[in-house]
């Protein structure tokens, strides 16, 4: 085995790097990547064959969920999950995931105040089983049922810590977890503690890893200068649905950058970090480059804003060169803190660089994330009908842009991981499972 560092002596703890503190570690509300990542270790969704049995009846548009009675010492019941769904559908709760449950029978009419809560297609069958009835067939509703934001809640509307780890303590620099003694699978892991450690300096990550301060580096900011380390077994590269896109509020600039053949290319230094994309769904054929015809007197300086995390700075620098090459002056605002960035009304700027990861494990989540920015009823119907038919070819053509956004890149998950760590399972949607986390003996 070709190791970047020597074997670790203390195998009771795994230290994982994060590039910013999570905004929230409530799985019912968190949207930021690190918040979701940490929630994945603390809370566990329904999973067919692991903690429940999910039976679909396509003829009746129904799903029956039977929770295994030995799961979490039988303390989690059907009511805990049903109450979580009802909380998401409570307008006063302001759940960011409310739209994902609109497939449930009468959910839209309930939210409009035209139907009572008792008419919703949700029914508790027994202490450990419940049924969901949908308005119509939905091929991806199983993915919503198994999503990381459908977590059982207690009587105070708080998520139940049913995952393999629980919080020990939190500081400005780290979040410490210990193994959850109530978790229903505990004999497979020899990792008693997980520490999420904050590191703001991306170029220190490799040294911190080599010196055993980190056991797994950040998934989303592996610097291109360290790609030569791919010859080591510690190096991991996974497919990811981390989308980079431009939110453009200046119509002239939007028309300019959305023309086929004029899309933003990948900076040379990032060609092994990012992948160019021409649509949010799949790929589509792009016509040859067209000549640009603009009137420079239509432009004041174009105002650009972005959050200064790697590789955003290099992407913006590349965008500035592109606009400068056609004579467009720019003003750039860089925000260091992600919390501050979230509080800014970015619609006041001409261009904002943004990122997102789908909420659940199906491409429909990408569509639901972006559908708010499609104002045309005809186009919305076209998108929804194509989704219902599972017509990804048509969706790749329709979803090449929305009213204000243009997809530009997707980024892989690249990181270093101790060669002896197994059971650290990160998928392309950013969902992390540490159920079976352990070190090799």
pLDDT digits 0-9 by tens, 152-171: 999 999 999 999 999 999 99
Query: Same domain, yes or no, for 282 and 377?
Result: yes
**Per-residue pLDDT at 263:** 66
Short-list 143, 140, 26, CA closest to 84:
26
Looking at the fold, whether 282 and 257 belong to one and the same domain comes out as yes
**What is the Cα–Cα distance from 20 to 172, expressed in whole angstroms?**
10
More confident residue, 203 or 300: 203
Local confidence band at 230 (pLDDT 50, 70, 90 cut-offs): very high
CATH of residue 195: 3.40.190.10
pLDDT of residue 16: 98
Residues 193 and 326 in one domain: no
Asked if residue 284 and residue 223 are part of one domain, the reply reads no
86 and 184 in a single domain? The answer is no
* Residue 153 in domain: no
Question: Taking all residues of the chain, what is their mean pLDDT, rounded to a whole number?
Answer: 92
| The pLDDT value given to residue 205 | 97
Q: Is-contact 423 435, C-beta < 8 A?
A: yes
Q: Look at residue 252 and tell me whether its pLDDT is greater than 90.
A: no
Which pLDDT score, from 0 to 100, does residue 24 have?
A: 93
- 399 and 303 belong to one structural domain: yes
pLDDT at 164: 94
* Residue 3 placed within a domain: no
> Do 251 and 388 fall within a single domain?
yes
Pick the residue with more confidence: 264 or 335?
A: 335
3-state SS assignment for residue 337: coil
Please check whether residue 150 lies inside any domain of the structure.
no
Mean pLDDT, residues 192-204 taken together: 95
Residue 186 pLDDT level (bands cut at 50, 70, 90) = low
Residues 22 and 120 in one domain: no
Structural domain total, the chain: 3
Residue at 290 is within a domain? yes
Predicted local confidence at residue 89, as pLDDT: 97
DSSP code for 265: P
In degrees and rounded to multiples of 5, residue 55 shows phi and psi of -110, 125
Position 325 scores a pLDDT of 84
Phi-psi region of 203 (alpha: psi -120 to 50; beta: other; left: phi over 0): alpha
Residues 228 and 273 in one domain: no
Q: Which of 135-144, 292-301, 390-399 has the lowest mean pLDDT?
A: 292-301
Mean pLDDT of 274-302: 70
pLDDT tens digits, 120-140: 999 999 999 999 999 999 999
d(C-alpha 63, C-alpha 85), whole Å: 14
pLDDT in the model for residue 299: 65
Any domain includes 86: yes
Contact call for residues 218 and 414 (beta carbons, < 8 A)? no
Same domain, 176 and 310: no
Residue 346 confidence class, pLDDT cut points 50, 70, 90: very high
Quick: pLDDT tens for 391-406. 999 999 999 999 999 9
The CA distance from 401 to 384, in Å, is 15
- Report the alpha-carbon distance of residue 314 to residue 249 in Å, rounded: 21
CATH number, residue 335:
3.10.105.10
Question: Does the pLDDT of residue 286 top 80, yes or no?
Answer: no
pTM: 0.92
CATH number for position 78:
3.90.76.10
| Helix H or strand E segment including 79 | helix 78-88
Same domain, 33 and 69: no
In a domain, 7, yes or no: no
69 band by pLDDT with thresholds 50, 70 and 90: confident
In a domain, 158, yes or no: no
Residue 239 confidence class, pLDDT cut points 50, 70, 90:
very high
Q: Which residues contact 214 (CB under 8 A, 6 or more apart)?
A: 15, 16, 17, 197, 199, 205, 208, 416
Q: What is the mean pLDDT of residues 239-250?
A: 94
pLDDT at position 326 over 90: no
404 vs 296 pLDDT, higher one: 404
Q: Is residue 151 part of a domain?
A: no
* Domain stop point among 145, 177, 209: 145
- Is 115 in the same domain as 167? no
Q: Is the pLDDT of residue 61 over 60?
A: yes
> 384 is in which domain, residue-wise?
242-411
Under the phi-then-psi rule, with left for phi > 0, alpha for psi from -120 to 50, and beta for the rest, what region is 108?
alpha
């Amino acid at each position: 085995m070709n190791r970047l560092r020597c074997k670790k002596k203390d195998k009771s703890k795994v230290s994982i790097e994060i590039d910013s503190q999570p905004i929230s570690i409530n799985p019912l509300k968190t949207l930021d990547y690190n918040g979701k990542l940490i929630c994945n270790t603390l809370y566990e969704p329904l999973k067919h064959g692991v903690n429940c049995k999910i039976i679909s009846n396509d003829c009746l548009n129904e799903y029956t969920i039977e929770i295994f009675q030995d799961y979490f010492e039988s303390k989690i019941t059907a009511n805990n999950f049903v109450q979580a769904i009802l909380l998401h559908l409570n307008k006063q709760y302001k759940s960011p995931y409310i739209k994902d449950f609109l497939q449930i029978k009468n959910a839209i009419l309930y939210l409009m105040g035209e139907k009572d809560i008792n008419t919703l297609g949700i029914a508790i069958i027994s202490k450990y089983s419940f049924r969901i009835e949908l308005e119509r067939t939905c091929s991806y509703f199983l993915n919503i049922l198994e999503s990381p934001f459908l977590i059982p809640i207690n009587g105070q509307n708080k998520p139940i810590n049913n995952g393999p780890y629980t919080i020990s303590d939190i500081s400005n620099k780290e979040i410490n977890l210990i193994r959850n003694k109530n978790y229903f699978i505990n004999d497979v892991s020899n990792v008693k503690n997980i520490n999420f450690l904050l590191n703001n300096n991306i170029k220190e990550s490799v040294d911190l890893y080599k010196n055993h301060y980190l056991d797994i580096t950040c998934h989303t900011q592996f610097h291109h200068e360290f790609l030569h380390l791919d010859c080591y077994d510690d190096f991991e590269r996974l497919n990811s649905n981390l989308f980079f896109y431009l939110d453009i509020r200046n119509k002239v600039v939007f028309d300019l950058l959305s023309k086929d053949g004029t899309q933003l290319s990948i900076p040379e230094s990032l060609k092994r970090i990012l992948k160019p994309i021409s649509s949010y769904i799949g790929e589509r054929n792009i016509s040859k480059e067209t000549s640009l015809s603009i009137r420079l007197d239509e432009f004041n300086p174009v105002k650009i804003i972005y959050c200064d995390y790697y590789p955003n700075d290099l992407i913006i620098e590349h965008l500035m060169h592109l606009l400068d090459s056609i004579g467009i002056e720019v003003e750039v605002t860089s925000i260091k803190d992600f919390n501050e960035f979230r509080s800014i009304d970015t619609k006041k700027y001409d261009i904002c660089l943004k990122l997102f990861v789908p909420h659940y494990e199906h491409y429909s989540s990408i569509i639901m994330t972006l559908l708010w920015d499609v104002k045309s009823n005809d186009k919305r119907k076209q998108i929804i009908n194509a989704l219902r038919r599972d017509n990804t070819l048509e969706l790749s053509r329709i979803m090449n842009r929305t009213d204000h956004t243009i997809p530009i890149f997707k980024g892989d998950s690249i990181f270093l991981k101790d060669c002896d760590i197994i059971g650290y399972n990160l998928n392309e949607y950013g969902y992390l499972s540490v159920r079976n986390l352990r070190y090799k003996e």
